[in-house]
Every structure is written in structure tokens, then in C-alpha cells.
A and B are shown apart, each in its own frame.
Chain A
Amino acid sequence: GQQVMQIPQYQHVQEGEDFTTYCNSSTTLSNIQWYKQRPGGHPVFLIQLVKSGEVKKQKRLTFQFGEAKKNSSLHITATQTTDVGTYFCADQTGANNLFFGTGTRLTVIP
């Protein structure tokens, strides 16, 4: 069956350092969505990537979709304490439901 793995599972960074999480799939991804879940909160949509090789930016966040559509990444430049949370990638299947990755929990040390 489909497996969407994210690495690393945990990441601790000093405030101001950069952070990257990688999303890898055993099968070709349809559309990738990225969500952020704060501690004790619910997932909140960040972005959707559709095209092979697509790159999108949101302020300090850069999202990439691999050329083969089997991987994706999220890079945060100069992390802030407000970036704390778990970042999930999710493959949107043809039926519109989301198949979530394992997540990367980010801790930012002030």
C-alpha cells in the first residue's frame, strides 16, 4: 500500500536557523498538500503543489515538488518560535481524501 514517509521525525533548531522536512512516497503522488499542526491544535492548510518540479514560496517558507512527483520538501528560512509544530505532507488521492505522511515535529529554541 501507499506509504508517505517524512524525515526527520523530530528537529530541534535554534531560533534563526533554517529547517527542512522531506516527504517521500513509494508511489507517484497525485497532489501534495502541506499542513501545520500546532501542539494541541488541529491541522491547518499551508499550500498545495500540483505540477512536477513546482516551487512555491510563502514568506519564509519554500515548498518544492519533485520532478518525478515522488517527493516534496518544505524549507523554513530563519525559524521563529511561532514556527513550532508538526508539519505534515499529505497526498490528495483521486477521491479527494488526504493520505498523510508521518510528520516532522519542529522545536525552536529561543
Chain B
Amino acid sequence: DTGVSQNPRHKITKRGQNVTFRCDPISEHNRLYWYRQTLGQGPEFLTYFQNEAQLEKSRLLSDRFSAERPKGSFSTLEIQRTEQGDSAMYLCASSLSGTLRNEQYFGPGTRLTVT
């Protein structure tokens, strides 16, 4: 499968714990995005990388959230001191710059439940 992959697919954690999610984009894609989606809503942008550089972060993103893409390939999203309001589907997407279509390819997501 050459699509975007995310691990784990599901994560249940207790409030106050830290969690880390991983995203492996399509191999030739240099852009990587993280989104959060809650039930009945559209995906909400969190942050964006071009290669290893984090170029944009949503102003809504709490400082408990941090993302990395150390070698410009896979990315990790860490949430520290989780809160119940962090429960959501976390989606990763990738794209290739310089193309006319500019479409983003989404992974299956990691569903986080904070108890």
C-alpha cells in the first residue's frame, strides 16, 4: 500500500497522559499536514510541514501539542497532558508541491479517546 499510513489507528488514554501519533506520508510527497476532526465537523487544520520545516501552526493549537518531521519523511504529533476535549480523530495528509492539482491525500486517521 503506497498511501498515507497512520499509527496507531486507535488510542485510549487517561486524562493527563501524553500520547504520540505517527504519520507516514506518500514517499515522494514533500508536504505533510495534520488535522483534527470531531464528530459531525470538517477537519480542522493543525499544522503543516514542507520537508522538515514546520511552516505553519494553527493559532488554535495549544502549546500542549507539538509536531515534528525530523528527516522530512514521517511525522509525529505529540499531545502532552491530554484533556477530554482532545478526544477526536487526528488526520494526516500529504501532498506534492509544484503540481497543478495540489490535492491532499489523507491517511485513515488515529482516533483518540481521553477518559
A: residues with CB less than 8 A from B are 31, 33, 41-45, 48, 88, 90, 92, 95-103
Is B45's CB within 8 Å of the partner chain A? yes
Residues of B39-71 whose CB lies within 8 A of A: 40-45, 48, 55-56
Please tell me if the beta carbons of B45 and A101 are within 8 angstroms of each other in the complex: no
Task: Tally B residues with Cβ within 8 Å of A.
Answer: 25
Q: Which residues of A contact B31 (CB under 8 A)?
A: 96
Of the stretches B18-26, B79-87, B103-111, the one at the interface is: B103-111
User: Could you jot down 8 A-B contacts, CB within 8 Å?
Assistant: A33-B103, A43-B43, A44-B106, A45-B104, A48-B101, A48-B102, A96-B95, A100-B42
B91 at the interface (CB under 8 A from A): yes
Least CB distance, A31 to chain B, in whole angstroms = 7
How many residue pairs link A and B with beta carbons under 8 A? The number is 55
CB-CB under 8 A from A98, the residues of chain B are 33, 35, 43, 45, 104
Partner of A92, one of B42, B102, B107: B102
Binding site for A on B (CB under 8 A): 31, 33, 35, 40-45, 48, 55-56, 91, 93, 95, 97, 101-109
> Which chain A residues border B109 with CB–CB below 8 Å?
42
Taking A44-B106, A90-B42 as given, write out 5 further A-B residue pairs in contact, using a Cβ cutoff of 8 Å, ordered by the A residue number: A42-B107, A42-B109, A45-B101, A45-B104, A97-B33
- The reply to whether B42 and A95 form a contact with Cβ atoms under 8 Å apart is no
A92–B93 Cα distance when bound, in Å, is 14
Q: Which 6 A-B pairs have the closest CB atoms?
A: A100-B42, A45-B103, A42-B106, A97-B45, A95-B56, A43-B106
Contact A102 B56 (CB under 8 A): no
A100 and B102 in contact (CB under 8 A), knowing A42-B91, A95-B48, A95-B56?
no
Known interface pairs A92-B102, A95-B55; A102-B33 also in contact (CB < 8 Å): no
Give min CB distance, A62 to chain B, whole Å: 18
A31 touches B108 (CB 8 A): no
A100 CA to B97 CA in the complex, in Å?
20
